[in-house]
Structure 1
Amino acid sequence: MHPVPFLRGEKIYLRTIYQEDIAKYFEMLFQAETRKLTGTQKSFTLRQVEQYIEEKSTDSSSILLLIALNENDVVIGDIQLLEIDNINRNCYIRIAIDNQSYQGRGYGSEAMKLMLEYAFGILNLHRVELNVFAYNERAIHVYERLGFQREGIQRDALYYDHAYHDSIIMSILEEEYRDRYIREQHVQK
């Protein structure tokens, strides 16, 4: 079966996870650099990953999508809106690009923009939040460039590689997103 895009950008598209993707998703969880950047400390079995994906497919408070390249359909990571709160109109976002060769090429930024457009333009959310570890300076720079603002620091929130690390809370509000990206779209026309 050919992958069906859910959201499409210039270089990448976001799509749901198919049964045949589960082994690839499982492998992505064991990339050493990705585990460090996401703060993943646990090991998972293939069955646990399969159950997680099954649960997410029926969870209305979460949207889990794979990031794939337009040119060849290669899956390079995943992105998720989670804890979607329709009353307070907010959620968390997380992203992982699973291989260093795909990092720093704009794929993550494009995936984030697609998901923010979906969150604010379709789901009618007001606020999108994320956490990033202080040692992930490249991600912090990207998030700030996308319009996220630092809100606070959770001191010593993660223990990894024999040390404690701070977690930075960042968010973007719908009006900040619209001021930045809707205005940008009008200028390009």
Structure 2
Amino acid sequence: MIDATALAEKPVLTGVRIRLVPLAIRHAAAFHAACQDPETRRLTGTHHDFTLAELEAWCAGSAGRADRLDLAIEDRESGDFLGELALSQIDPPNAHGSFRIALVPEATGRGVGSEATRLLLGYAFDRVGLHRVQLEVYDYNPRARRAYEKCGFEVEGRMREALFWDGAWHDVLVMAVLRTGRGGGAGAGAG
């Protein structure tokens, strides 16, 4: 049985190098800058050109959303914004949810994404009580796929030519991790 109230709590989750904190308006400018980066847009498949005002409104409203969890990833020492992640589309009867993460360009390739993913999975399984968490990753992002696999995700399927990007069709891989198959340990890296 899941505890949906855990989504409304908006926790602070602390790891070795990072901390996950409730997404707030103070993150909007850095979030907007990341959304303007062409490589970030490509890796996340983001066609929409978000305005600063849209992201300010989204960040300001995050604390009041009881059906999902949106957290900012911050450097534990400097407090710098390193990205954001979300646990959403919660299906209580089936103890299932969806996950997404996006890092600022400077945070990639340093293990930040894996640490943030493990922290969030620990919360999703141990506090919310989910049984299954899934995500989607594009076929042209093998680095993200490897990072997800290190966190216990397995490829479950492929949506053929589901994304049109830069004049070509790309497949979307569906990956999921089960509470019982947590791979590298959902809590690994927690401090």
**TM-score of the superposition, structure 1-length normalised?**
0.88
In 1: Cα distance, 2:14 partner to 2:187 partner = 20
Contact 1:130 1:170 in 2 (8 A): yes
Task: Specify which structure has the bigger relative contact order, considering alpha-carbon pairs within 8 angstroms and separated by 6 or more residues.
Answer: 2
The equivalences for 1:39-58 within 5 A come to: 39-58=45-64
In 2: Cα distance, 1:181 partner to 1:24 partner = 30
1:61 match: 67
1:163 match: 168
Which residue of 51, 73, 77 maps to 1:71?
Answer: 77
1:138 match: 143
Q: 1:164 to 1:183 in 2, by over 3 A?
A: closer
Number of residue pairs matched by the alignment? 180
In the TM superposition, residue 180 of structure 1 has moved relative to its aligned partner by: 5.1
In the TM superposition, residue 146 of structure 1 has moved relative to its aligned partner by: 1.3
Q: 1:88 to 1:16 in 2, by over 3 A?
A: same
Residue 22 of structure 1 aligns to which amino acid in structure 2? A
Query: Percent identity of the aligned residues?
Result: 36
* Higher Cα radius of gyration: 1
In the TM superposition, residue 18 of structure 1 has moved relative to its aligned partner by: 2.7
Which runs of 5 or more structure 2 residues have no equivalent in the other structure?
A: 1-10
1:181 match: 185
Structure 1: which 4+ aligned runs deviate by more than 3 Å? 182-185
In 1: Cα distance, 2:164 partner to 2:22 partner = 32
In 1: Cα distance, 2:187 partner to 2:13 partner = 21
1:35 aligns with 2:28: no
Which residue of 120, 133, 145 maps to 2:125?
Answer: 120
In the TM superposition, residue 62 of structure 1 has moved relative to its aligned partner by: 1.1
Q: 1:184 to 1:7 in 2, by over 3 A?
A: closer
Contact 1:61 1:85 in 2 (8 A): no
